[in-house]
Amino acid sequence: MDKAPHAAEEAVLAPIRTAETKDATQDGRRLQLQRTVSGPPYTIFTPRAKLFIVIAVSVSSLISPFGATTFYPALDTIADDYGVSPTLINLSLTTYMIAQAIAPALIAGMSDQNGRRTSYIICFFIFLVADIALALQRSYAALLVLRMVQAFGCSAAIALSNAVVADIATSAERGKYMGYATAGLLFGPAFGPTIGGLFAQFLGWRSTFWFLAGFAGVLIVVFGLLFPETCRNVVGNGSIPAKGINRSILGHVQQQKYAKDHPETPNGDIASLGRRRGGFPNPLRTLKILGDPVSCVILLYNGLFFTGMMVVTGAMPTLYAEVYHLNTLDIGLCYITNGMGSLLSTLTMGHVADWNFKRHAKRLGYDIKKGRQQDLSSFPIERARFEVLIPGHIIGSLAIIIFGWTLNYGVSLAGPEIALFFIGFGVSTSFNLTNTLLIDIHKDQPATATAAVNFVRCLMSAGGAAAIIPMTKAMGIGWAFTFIAFVYFVLLGVVFWMMGNGQKLRARAVEKKRAKDERAAAERRETDAEKGVAGNEGSENEECEEHTAGKVKSADMAGTDGRSEKEEYEDDIKR
């Protein structure tokens, strides 16, 4: 591989050819930069298979918002049945959100180590059992406890949908697929109340839980038979055969097709080397992501914006009943406009995000090759994502103000409904793009990163859902929602700050980790020397040092020691 030294200012890079490496000087150090990755394809799944996978995770992610919102329209009815106040019934929403915040920390770690399929199937089964119990229970205390169990069961859909996209889509196409994958999570708050209103109006509110139980049963069958394992720690790019419960019909078909089309390639891909063995999940990895400055800012932004969506949808039953005197079914139907706004965002803004990524890549000389993951260490990914986010941020913030004041003055129902459409568009755009950005930064542990998103947004949403009705009574409807929008306009300053400083902060964090790893390697060498470990110590330490510094050998270097590329490949797989 040809190397040509080239001096560069910070974050300014010269165009290079695919897989061509250049040295850049920064603060007196020589940095090895590689713009595109050579070797096996990022994934063996065909576009049609990827579309099926993304649709499956999108549909499965409906169970989380459906579980939270299907009985929104029946809150007053449930309160009457149990003889408690609407405020106490709203606590079931709060406990649901708290459980959803905590549970994915366990689920995400398990999925990153042991596979996505296992996590999905276990959680769907828990959700199924909880729904049946909720349909049969007769006490308020049981309602609160079982709602928490239900939230644990549906948490997989939230933690894993983004992780699956990271498994199968490169950064250049991730915006589009992330939009599709999170569609269910965003449509659910809009259509869940409509479905719940229909069931509550004609069959009683308990029928909503029987509906959810049936939905979970269908998901168990579909995922158990067809959904392939995508976790890169388990199957690499999909070419490593899955074992046990991780096997599926579609996964087997894709592996056989790939083996037939690439007979010269051994089973397994170099990208999966060094994958972790299964083990007990560590929930602290989720909290560790909060310690990263860039990730922490993104998580807080994401959580605050999603809280706005949940505050609006959570307050609608009470406010619409007070202002417009609507019944349960009519209130449920009013959520549809919010879902249509989310749909428009999903169908358009993901493509715009991918276009903007490629625009920046072309400007900086990155060669975008289909099916190959780009090296983002020196790419302004924060700017590429946030530039697309800003219009949605402004639209959503203004729409929240309009929503509040149209309700405050009791204008025609069309007023808040139009505002709801633009709230759905703006919030969905901001939510999707910050999710995509976080996965770009943490592509090696996407489920854990998504669990961190879920942890922050659910805790914030739980507080927002509990506070919004008291806020409207204390401040007035218009001023309560104006206050929320004001917070969002303050957040816009954070967006511009991240666009200018995100890449620098990320580079600083990487350098800090590299220095820490080098110190750890030096300490291990000293310990080995004290114990009298000798012989092949030098070569082993060099390999350890290269690994901890993040300098992984490229597949292009195989064969330089006289062995064939296939022999080198097989040795790497064994290691």
The CATH code of the domain that includes 427 is 1.20.1250.20
pLDDT of residue 259: 67
Average of per-residue pLDDT across 76-89? 81
pLDDT of residue 440: 82
Lookup: tokens for 74: 């029946």
Contact between 164 and 182 under an 8 Å Cβ cutoff? The reply is no
Average of per-residue pLDDT across 241-267? 70
Residues 220, 95, single domain; the answer is yes
Q: Is residue 575 part of a domain?
A: no
For the chain, give the percent of residues with pLDDT over 70: 78
Q: Is residue 518 part of a domain?
A: no
Average of per-residue pLDDT across 51-64? 89
Average of per-residue pLDDT across 84-109? 78
Element (H, E) at 29: strand 29-34
Residues 172, 24, single domain; the answer is no
pLDDT value at 68 more than 60: yes
Residues 502, 368, single domain; the answer is yes
pLDDT of residue 422: 95
User: Which domain, by its residues, includes 28?
Assistant: 3-34
Write down which residue in 509, 540, 566 finishes a domain: 509
Measured CA angle at 337 (ends 331, 340), to 5 deg:
140
Q: Is residue 95 part of a domain?
A: yes
Q: Is residue 39 part of a domain?
A: no
Residues 29, 57, single domain; the answer is no
Residues 270, 228, single domain; the answer is yes
State which of 58-62, 173-177, 520-524 shows the largest mean pLDDT: 58-62
pLDDT of residue 129: 95
Residues 343, 315, single domain; the answer is yes
296 vs 566, residue with greater confidence: 296
Express each pLDDT in 7-35 by its tens digit: 333 333 333 333 333 333 333 333 333 44
pLDDT value at 571 more than 50: no
Express each pLDDT in 182-212 by its tens digit: 777 777 777 888 888 888 888 888 999 999 9
- 417 confidence band (pLDDT: 50, 70, 90): very high
Average of per-residue pLDDT across 513-536? 74
373 vs 555, residue with greater confidence: 373
Residues 294, 322, single domain; the answer is yes
Other Cβ atoms closer than 10 A to 133 = 16
| Dihedral over alpha carbons 123, 127, 128, 134 (to 10 degrees) | 160
pLDDT value at 159 more than 70: yes
Average of per-residue pLDDT across 285-300? 81
Number of domains in the chain: 2
Write down which residue in 509, 540, 562 finishes a domain: 509
Residues 404, 305, single domain; the answer is yes
Other Cβ atoms closer than 10 A to 542 = 11
- Comparing CA positions, the residue from 334, 486, 476 lying closest to residue 419 is 334
Q: Is residue 199 part of a domain?
A: yes
Q: Is residue 536 part of a domain?
A: no
Q: Is residue 250 part of a domain?
A: yes
Q: Is residue 7 part of a domain?
A: yes
Residues 149, 273, single domain; the answer is yes
Write down which residue in 468, 485, 509 finishes a domain: 509
pLDDT of residue 500: 83
- For tokens 């490229």, what's the residue? 554
Residues 79, 18, single domain; the answer is no
Average of per-residue pLDDT across 151-162? 80
> What mean pLDDT, rounded, does the chain reach?
76
DSSP 380-394: -HHHHHHHHHHHHHH
Residues 157, 201, single domain; the answer is yes
368 vs 363, residue with greater confidence: 363
Helical H segments across 137-206, by residue range: 140-168, 174-181, 183-202
Contact between 108 and 156 under an 8 Å Cβ cutoff? The reply is no
pLDDT of residue 149: 92
Contact between 221 and 101 under an 8 Å Cβ cutoff? The reply is no
CA distances from 404 to 66, 100, 398 (A): 25, 28, 10
Alpha carbon distance 177, 167 (integer Å): 11
Strand 21-26 relative to strand 3-5: parallel, antiparallel, unpaired?
A: parallel
For the chain, give the percent of residues with pLDDT over 90: 16
Alpha carbon distance 25, 32 (integer Å): 9
Of the given ranges (169-178, 275-284, 411-420), which has the lowest mean pLDDT?
A: 275-284
Residues 12, 85, single domain; the answer is no
- 374 confidence band (pLDDT: 50, 70, 90): low
